[in-house]
C-alpha cells in the first residue's frame, strides 16, 4: 500500500543572518485511514513540519511524497494543484476570507478546481456546512460567527474538494472546552470516511490520546512520545 504522505530525510533550514533549522531529517509515512496526532513543546517545529506535509513549504533537502509522487522538484503550479485536489488544511487561526460568506468560503476551493457546476458546488457547500451544524449560518460573513463556528467553516472548506488528507494545525487552540470537543469530534468522525487520513497538531494530551498514532517533535526532530503523556 502506498502511503498518502511520506517524507524522506526532510529538512527545512531558514536562511538568514543566522540559519535556523526548523525541522531536520524527518522520516515518516501516513497511511490511508490513519488519525495521527503531533505533539511537542512550543517552538519545536510542529507547524513547520505541517507546512512541509501540506506542500505549503519546500524542504531544503530531502523530499515529501504525496501518494508516491516526489514533490520537492515540482513547480509552484503543480504543487498548488496537488494541494487543491488531495490536501485540506485547517490553520490554528481560521483564515477565512472576511468579505465572503461562509458558503462562499467553502465553495472557493471547488471553484478554483472547476470540476462541478455552480449548482452542484452550492449544494455540496451547503451539505458540508449542514454536517458541521452551520446550516443556518451559511450566508453569514466570518465576523458574524463565533470562534468555534469559524473553525467549523474552515473545516468545511478543507473538505470542499474531498481531499485524501486533512492537516489541522492546532484547530482548537483558540477554542473553549465545549467548542474544542465539538470540533475534535467532527474531525474524529471524518477519519475512516473514504479512507481519509487526518493529521492534527495539538498541545492537549487528552486529545492526542484519542488519535490512532502519535508523533512527538522535539527541536525539529521526531522523538519518542514521553511516558507520562
Partner 1 sequence: MGLAIDIAITHIRSRLRQTLVGVLGVATGVGFSVMMASLMEGSQRDFIAQLVDSLPHITISDERRTPPPQPAALIYDEVEISNLSTVDRRRGIKNPLAVMAEIESWAPAKVAPSVRANILLRQAGRDVGAVMLGIDPKREAEVSNIASKMVEGSLDNLVKASNAVLLGARLAERLGIRVGNTVTISSSGGKTMTATAVGIFRTGVAQVDDSQIYALTRSAQVLAGQTGLINELRLKANDALGARELAARVEAETGYKAVSWQEAHEDLINAFNIRNFIMYTVVGAILLVASFGTYNIISTITHEKTRDIAIMKSLGLRAALVRRIFVLEALVIGLIGMLAGFALGFAMTKALGAVEFRSPFGDATRLPVIYSPIHYGLAGAIALGASLIAAWLPARKAASVNPVEIIRGAS
DSSP 137: G
Using the rule CB under 8 A, which residue among 169, 172, 180, 183 binds partner 1?
Answer: 169
**C-alpha cell of residue 17:** 543572518
Using the rule CB under 8 A, which residue among 9, 95, 135, 176 binds partner 1?
Answer: 95
| Of residues 200, 196, 185, the one with CA closest to residue 152 | 185
Q: Is 72 in the site for partner 1 (CB under 8 A)?
A: no
**Which residues sit opposite 13 in a β-bridge?**
21
Please report, in angstroms and rounded to a whole number, the separation of the first and last CA atoms in the chain: 31
Using the rule CB under 8 A, which residue among 93, 192, 218, 225 binds partner 1?
Answer: 93
Q: Is 109 in the site for partner 1 (CB under 8 A)?
A: yes
150 SS3 class:
helix
Using a 10 angstrom Cβ sphere, with 0-12 exposed, 13-18 middle and 19 or more buried, the burial of residue 157 is buried
Shortest Å distance, C-beta 50 to ligand ATP = 8
Residue 34 binds which entry of ligand ATP, partner 1, Mg ion, none, with Cβ cut-offs from 5 to 8 Å by kind?
A: none
Which residues sit at the interface with partner 1, rule CB under 8 A? 47, 51, 56-57, 76-77, 80-85, 87, 89, 91-93, 95-100, 108-109, 111-113, 157, 169
Which residues sit at the interface with ligand ATP, rule CB under 6 A? 14, 20, 22, 40, 42-48
Amino acid at each position: 500500500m502506498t502511503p498518502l504522505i511520506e517524507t524522506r530525510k526532510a529538512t527545512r533550514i531558514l536562511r538568514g543572518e543566522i540559519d535556523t533549522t526548523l525541522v531536520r531529517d524527518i522520516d515518516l509515512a501516513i497511511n490511508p485511514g490513519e488519525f495521527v496526532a503531533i505533539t511537542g513543546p512550543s517552538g519545536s517545529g510542529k507547524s513547520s513540519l505541517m507546512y512541509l506535509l501540506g506542500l505549503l513549504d519546500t524542504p531544503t533537502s530531502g523530499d515529501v511524497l504525496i501518494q508516491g509522487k516526489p514533490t520537492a522538484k515540482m513547480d509552484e503550479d503543480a504543487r498548488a494543484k496537488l494541494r487543491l485536489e488531495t490536501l485540506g488544511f485547517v490553520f490554528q487561526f481560521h483564515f477565512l476570507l472576511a468579505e465572503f460568506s461562509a458558503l462562499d468560503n467553502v465553495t472557493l476551493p471547488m471553484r478554483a478546481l472547476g470540476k462541478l457546476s455552480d449548482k452542484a458546488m452550492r449544494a455540496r457547500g451547503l451539505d458540508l456546512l449542514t454536517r458541521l451544524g452551520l446550516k443556518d449560518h451559511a450566508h453569514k460573513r466570518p465576523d458574524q460567527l463565533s470562534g468555534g463556528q469559524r473553525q467549523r467553516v474552515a473545516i468545511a472548506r478543507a473538505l470542499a474538494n474531498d481531499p485524501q488528507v486533512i492537516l489541522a494545525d492546532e484547530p482548537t487552540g483558540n477554542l473553549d472546552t465545549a467548542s474544542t470537543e465539538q470540533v475534535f469530534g467532527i474531525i474524529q468522525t471524518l477519519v475512516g470516511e473514504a479512507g481519509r487520513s487526518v493529521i492534527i497538531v495539538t498541545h492537549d494530551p487528552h486529545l492526542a490520546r484519542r488519535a490512532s498514532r502519535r508523533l512527538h517533535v522535539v527541536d525539529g526532530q521526531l522523538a519518542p512520545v514521553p511516558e507520562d503523556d
